[in-house]
Amino acid sequence: MSRGSPPGCYHLPAMKPRRPTRPIFLGDERVGIVQVGGGLPRKGGWTPPQKWIPASGAATTPAPVSVQTMTAGYTHDVEKCVAEINKLAAAGADVVRVAVPEKKDTAALKEIIPRVRVPIVADVHFHFQRALEAVEAGVHKIRLNPGNINDRAQVIDVIQACKARGLPIRVGVNEGSIIERKDKERRKQELGKFFAGHKQGHLMALMVAKLEEYLEIFYEQDFYDVAVSAKSMDAAFVVDVYSAISERFDEPLHLGVTHAGPKETGCIRSIAALSALLCNGVGDTVRISYANDPVYEVEDGLELLYCLGMRERKGVDLIACPTCGRIQVDLFTLVQDVRRQLQSIRLPIKVAVMGCIVNGPGEAEGADVAVFAGDRRGIIYVQGERVANVPEEEILERLMAECRAFEERVQRGEARLGEKKVDIVPPDPIGELGSGFDKIAAGQVDRVTTLTVAGRN
Ligand code: SF4
């Protein structure tokens, strides 16, 4: 296991080790404590009140990359806000951020925080008083935007309030709110030279310069419990700017592509940037942002980390073929139905739903529970053993029954995830048989052997 891997996870050779950072800690014993970053000692000649925050100079190890999101509703609507936060936590969010544009929003935090079980971040823009009120209300972290809270005395007030409570702060610059509208052309020419040759070099320089300038205030106050973000809607620019920041700062990085758009395209935009950075060891917490229900942000953020082997999967790993001209069942509908019904299973069971005999047996062999189809029927396997051959209309019900039964066997200790009991020997050749169903029906496809597989029984 490479440096920075959470227990049980791995790094592919193509992935670089996590960049070490000074960690921050947010939450409390009731909602849980989330560490972001790590690998470098904490810094600062003062002791936070929380006993779980390591002393200055103490060694730390990197925490698994966490997943954040933000509520879409009004914070001052307490009932709806609590319900939304709890829904996001149930979906797997490690941290939830809320907007606090008005005093009634920070006032609502006092009622909201005791009713949720996930650390809450107050997102503060323009009014530093909202940060002070949020700290008083018991929030777990503050986010400040240097683009709109830049009065030095105000920033120091927020730092001191957080320091007194042992709360971290995220300094988040955004492309949209950092562009200097005065002297725009002169600034562009001045800053362009720092990343000469980059088409948006001046913007990158501006974001780095703003961060340096802003963080200097924090360092002067002996306050280092800071995370940093520098978001843009341009995925390639996000990769470049975070890479530049990762070389200059020790703070953990909150990754995100801002204003990514609707889920359908925002997903590609976000994953393109975030996976490039994470594979390069850059990034300690992620927020995918969509113009849609934030539950999707959590689900896709987690899926990204699962796919990169950076988090241990909590729910089912569903694989399915894209279908082609060989398909003989309504696989798209089946996959969607299976996906929906599998959401109740909390074990990382690998389930394969395959369209035909070409790749079906191979995937069935590697999955815990699998079905491959042919001629309006489905052959169902559990860890390589054929358990059923059912007509199309019974595939869903039977497959789900096998998944639930397998889950119960794992919970009782009677089965182990990822264990292959038998090798499936597909018929050969299959070419002239089309879907191969003639051989399936003849019982030839599910000829199995009980070969011992190296490392397994
Ligand atoms: S498994 Fe069969 S149906 Fe699915 S994509 Fe492959 S060849 Fe086509």
Please state the domain extents for the chain: 24-307, 317-449
Top mutation candidate among 332, 334, 356 for ligand 1, by most atoms within 8 Å of CB: 356
Top mutation candidate among 324, 332, 437 for ligand 1, by most atoms within 8 Å of CB: 324
Task: Looking at the CA of residue 363, tell me the nearest atom of ligand 1.
Answer: 1
Beta strand 254-256 with 226-231: parallel, antiparallel or unpaired?
unpaired
120 CB near ligand 1 (under 6 Å): no
**Please, are residues 319 and 366 in contact by the beta-carbon 8 Å criterion?**
no
Task: Looking at the CA of residue 357, tell me the nearest atom of ligand 1.
Answer: 2
355 CB near ligand 1 (under 6 Å): yes
**417 CA distance to ligand 1 middle (Å):** 25
From the CB of residue 314, how many other CB atoms can be counted at a distance below 10 Å? 11
Residues 6+ apart with CB under 8 A from 69: 88, 93, 96, 97, 287, 288, 294, 297, 298, 301
**265 CA distance to ligand 1 middle (Å):** 26
Domain with residues 24-307, CATH architecture: Alpha-Beta Barrel (3.20)
322 CB near ligand 1 (under 6 Å): yes
The per-type count for the chain, helices as H runs and strands as E runs, is: 14, 17
334 CB near ligand 1 (under 6 Å): no
This prediction has a pTM of 0.85
User: Is domain 317-449 in CATH 1.10.10.10, yes or no?
Assistant: no
Q: What is the pLDDT of residue 365?
A: 79
**Please, are residues 254 and 229 in contact by the beta-carbon 8 Å criterion?**
yes
280 CB near ligand 1 (under 6 Å): no
Top mutation candidate among 358, 371, 430 for ligand 1, by most atoms within 8 Å of CB: 358
Q: What is the pLDDT of residue 179?
A: 63
Q: What's the rounded Cα separation, in Å, for the pair 361 and 405?
A: 21
319 CB near ligand 1 (under 6 Å): no
pLDDT tens digits in sequence order for the chain, 457 residues long = 344 445 445 555 678 999 999 999 999 999 999 999 999 999 988 889 999 999 999 999 999 999 999 999 999 999 999 999 999 999 999 999 999 999 999 999 999 999 999 999 999 999 999 999 999 999 999 999 998 898 999 999 999 999 999 999 999 998 877 666 566 666 666 666 666 667 777 788 889 989 999 999 999 999 999 999 999 999 999 999 999 999 999 999 999 998 888 999 999 999 999 999 999 999 999 999 999 999 999 999 999 999 999 999 988 999 999 989 888 789 999 999 999 999 889 899 999 999 887 788 788 878 999 998 877 889 899 998 889 989 999 999 999 999 999 999 999 999 999 887 666 655 544 444 345 555 555 555 444 333 333 333 2
